[in-house]
Amino acid sequence: MPRIYVHPLPVRIWHWANAFGFVALIATGVQIRYIELVHVMSFKTAVNLHNGIGWILVGNFFLWLLFYLFTDKIRVYHPELSPVKHFRASFRQLQYYGYGIFKGEPNPHHLSVYQKFNALQSMTYQIIMLLLVPLQFVTGILLWDLKRFSYWVDLFGGVRVVDTVHVLLFIFFTGFIFVHPYLASLGHTPSAHFKAMITGYEEVDEEPVPQAPAK
Amino acid sequence: MNALRRLRAGAATAAVLLMLATMPPVPAHAADRLSEDDRKCLACHAQEGITKTFEKGDTLALRVDGEQFARSIHAPLGCAACHSEVDLKSHPGGGTRFDTAREFAVAQAGACRQCHEEVFKQHQGSIHALRLGEGNPVAPTCAGCHGSHSVSPKTAYQTCVTCHAAALAEHRGWLPNAESHHEVVSCAACHAPAALRMVDLRLYDRTARTWVAEKEGQPWFEKLARSIDADGNGLDAAELRSLLKAINPEGTAVPKTLRGRIELRAGVEAHRLSEKSKALKACDNCHREGAEPFQNVAVSVTGPDGRPRRHTAQKQVLGSALAVESLPEFYAIGGTRSTFLDVLFLIALLGGIAFPAGHMTVRWLYRKFFA
């Protein structure tokens, strides 16, 4: 099968660090929040691990951000400006996941270097990467040192508001961490997308059409 | 030597008589409320530089700030209540003689015991009592923590850091968010491990940056709390919100908020301080659901004497969804966990597992029966 290079090395490093880091943050988060149910380590160890991994992922986020800001690959995150086109494509994608895939229909999204996300992914990842992940990091940093950031905690509306936002996002990412690998297994083989995130190359049905880089 | 003492005593007596004769006006304000006898004592003891010299040569300042004493919690008792050994006929100069100021301070604790026997029982066996018994020269006497003539309800933290100034730096070495812990957990909550704890939700004025205090003769908090907690079973989450709405009427620019602190249920138990090695250090003493300090909750304002005026609240107020609005400034991992968020977490967890499992099952069924 023809192959195209869709996941550059910095993106792959960011992705796997983020993936394992988020699993570790969720695991330590569960231990911190539900210590009477999950007691793998002491509360303090869980908090210190959670904080340490959190800081690594904050740095990792900037690897992702700077890579996309300073390369033309940012085009993969460019939104579809026509709402009609966007929602039509999203609906087609939903139809595929909700029905077409069962009947063996082909995926309506055709992968290319600058369009590696389908319409649903495009919208979801913009929200996740530009809103939810930064918000999770900001609230986490505020909770890491409440006294030092007391001005910002007050601006948020108080420590409970900060924590509630942090926990709501933790709940969202807990659901996401199960659904994301499953959706990633829906390539032309169950392991195709996983291999692609290791090698950088996705296998495609037809010979790729060369695309002009951003001007 | 005896002649010298007699001379000193005579001179001091003459000085007392002279001062009584030319008694200066007692300072206005709070000191005006003191009794005639107390004002006579202050006629000398309010003077700068008045000291007592002990047998071994060390001295003790005898000056009493009349204003401070008048504002202290012991002012209504008067000087004689604690200094009953003073016989005005032979004063100054009479009474028991002490070798050192320290010896005098230790003995003077007996005056406290006259009224505070229960406190002494709690204090027995504490680390401070132990050190005092060993003769440690810096072990605190009653006055060491509470002051002598300015006794007033202080927060335990202010009291403790007077001697334990390095406490915060030491806690920073092992305790995450040490500053926040020092702000919201009273020292005794961890250092008196046998005592029972509670959550005190104290009303805070964010404009004045201080705790809300009732004025003398104008109590309002308990009456308001009782009127809202009509069934008398403690404020529930909705009643707590109503209380805050009553305190902060519509249009209040900077509303007063409730700030939570972990305190001891009975303040007297703060005297049961243990050795440092026995202090509570395990985080899950507080940071788990159902933790002991979160089983008793009170809402309070500061009374005119500095003591809290409390009204009971139901423990569920801490984890209620309404707490985001009512208690935005109080949160403790585990202890104030929200049931609503727990349910959402369960839904996300089960949904996260159910979606792939369900989707996979439908794909398999389609392949098996319709392919």
B209-247: pLDDT as tens digits: 999 999 988 999 999 999 999 899 999 999 999 999 999
Enumerate the residues of chain B whose CB falls inside 8 A of the CB of residue A43: 282-284, 287-288
Q: What is the pLDDT of residue A198?
A: 97
Q: Which residues pair with B205 in a beta bridge?
A: B210
pLDDT in tens, B294-343: 999 999 999 888 889 999 999 999 999 999 999 999 999 999 999 999 99
Q: What is the pLDDT of residue B137?
A: 87
Question: How do the residues of chain B divide into helix, strand and coil, expressed in percent and rounded to 5?
Answer: 50, 10, 40
Q: What is the pLDDT of residue A1?
A: 76
Q: What is the pLDDT of residue A215?
A: 46
pLDDT band at residue B207, thresholds of 50, 70 and 90?
A: very high
| Two structure tokens written together for A123 | 């919208």
Interface probe for B, chosen from A51, A166, A171 (most Cβ of B below 10 Å), is A171
Closest CA to B335 of B229, B197, B242: B197
Express as a percent the part of chain A with pLDDT over 70: 95
Give residue A126's identity as a one-letter amino acid code.
Q
CA distance A108 to B368: 24
Q: What is the pLDDT of residue A23?
A: 97
Give residue A9's identity as a one-letter amino acid code.
L
Q: What is the pLDDT of residue B18?
A: 43
Cβ pairs bridging A and B (under 8 Å): 104
Q: What is the pLDDT of residue A101?
A: 93
Q: What is the pLDDT of residue B17?
A: 42
Enumerate the residues of chain B whose CB falls inside 8 A of the CB of residue A159: 328-331
Task: Report how far apart, in Å, the C-alpha atoms of B14 and of each of A147, B18, B20, B226, B343 are.
Answer: 58, 6, 10, 59, 81
Core vs surface per residue B123-152: b (16+ CB within 10 A) or e: beebbbbeebeeeeeebbbbbbbbbbbbbe
Q: What is the pLDDT of residue B201?
A: 97
Say yes or no to pLDDT of B279 above 90: yes
Signed CA dihedral, B46, B51, B54, B56: sign only: positive
**The whole model's pTM is what?**
0.84
Enumerate the residues of chain A whose CB falls inside 8 A of the CB of residue B179: 146-148
| Two structure tokens written together for B369 | 């029966």
Contact B308, B214 (CB under 8 A): no
Which DSSP symbol is given to B329? T
Say yes or no to pLDDT of B16 above 80: no
Residue B348 at interface with chain A, using a CB cutoff of 8 Å = yes
Average pLDDT over residues B270-278: 91
Question: Using CB atoms and an 8 Å cut-off, which of residues 168-197 of chain B contact chain A?
Answer: 176-177, 179-180, 183
CA distance B22 to B42: 13
Q: What is the pLDDT of residue B262?
A: 95
Q: What is the pLDDT of residue B2?
A: 47
Core vs surface per residue B197-218: b (16+ CB within 10 A) or e: bbbbbbbbeeeeeebbbbeeee
Give residues with Cβ within 8 angstroms of B292, minimum separation 6. Answer: B196, B197, B285
Say yes or no to pLDDT of B22 above 60: no
Beta strands in B225-305 (DSSP E): 257-264, 297-302
pLDDT in tens, B122-154: 898 899 999 988 989 889 888 888 888 888 776
CA distance A72 to A215: 8
- Concatenating the DSSP letter of every residue in A97-156 gives IIIIHHHTPPPS---BTTB-S-HHHHHHHHHIIIIIHHHHHHHHHHHHTTTTTHHHHHHH
Residue B328 at interface with chain A, using a CB cutoff of 8 Å = yes
Express as a percent the part of chain B with pLDDT over 70: 90
Among A43, A48, A178, beta carbon nearest to B352: A178
CA distance B285 to A124: 40
| Two structure tokens written together for B121 | 């029982």
Say yes or no to pLDDT of A91 above 90: yes
Closest CA to B310 of B254, B248, B267: B267
Phi, psi of B289 (to 5 degrees): -65, 140
pLDDT band at residue A208, thresholds of 50, 70 and 90?
A: low
pLDDT in tens, A41-59: 999 999 999 999 999 999 9
pLDDT in tens, B84-121: 888 877 787 777 788 888 888 888 888 898 899 988 98
Q: What is the pLDDT of residue B12?
A: 42
Give residue B335's identity as a one-letter amino acid code.
G
CA distance B274 to chain A (A): 23
| Beta pairing, strands B51-53 & B59-61 | antiparallel
pLDDT in tens, B61-90: 889 998 889 888 888 899 989 888 888 777
Residue position matching structure tokens 């440092």: B276
Q: What is the pLDDT of residue A211?
A: 57
Sketch the domain layout of chain A as residue ranges: 9-70
CA distance B353 to chain A (A): 6
Closest CA to B49 of B31, B64, B37: B64
Say yes or no to pLDDT of B293 above 50: yes
Contact A177, A26 (CB under 8 A): yes
- The 3-state DSSP class for residue B153 equals coil
| Two structure tokens written together for B251 | 């249009």
Which chain B residue has its CA at the smallest distance from A47's CA? B176
Q: What is the pLDDT of residue B20?
A: 39
CA distance B50 to A7: 84
Closest CA to B46 of B63, B29, B70, B25: B63
Contact B305, B76 (CB under 8 A): no
In the predicted model, what is the mean pLDDT of chain B?
87
Say whether A167 and B341 touch across the interface (CB within 8 A). Answer: yes
Give residues with Cβ within 8 angstroms of A120, minimum separation 6. Answer: A90, A93, A94
| Structure ipTM | 0.91
CA distance B333 to chain A (A): 6
Say yes or no to pLDDT of A62 above 90: yes
Enumerate the residues of chain B whose CB falls inside 8 A of the CB of residue A102: 362-363, 366, 370
CA distance B63 to B286: 45
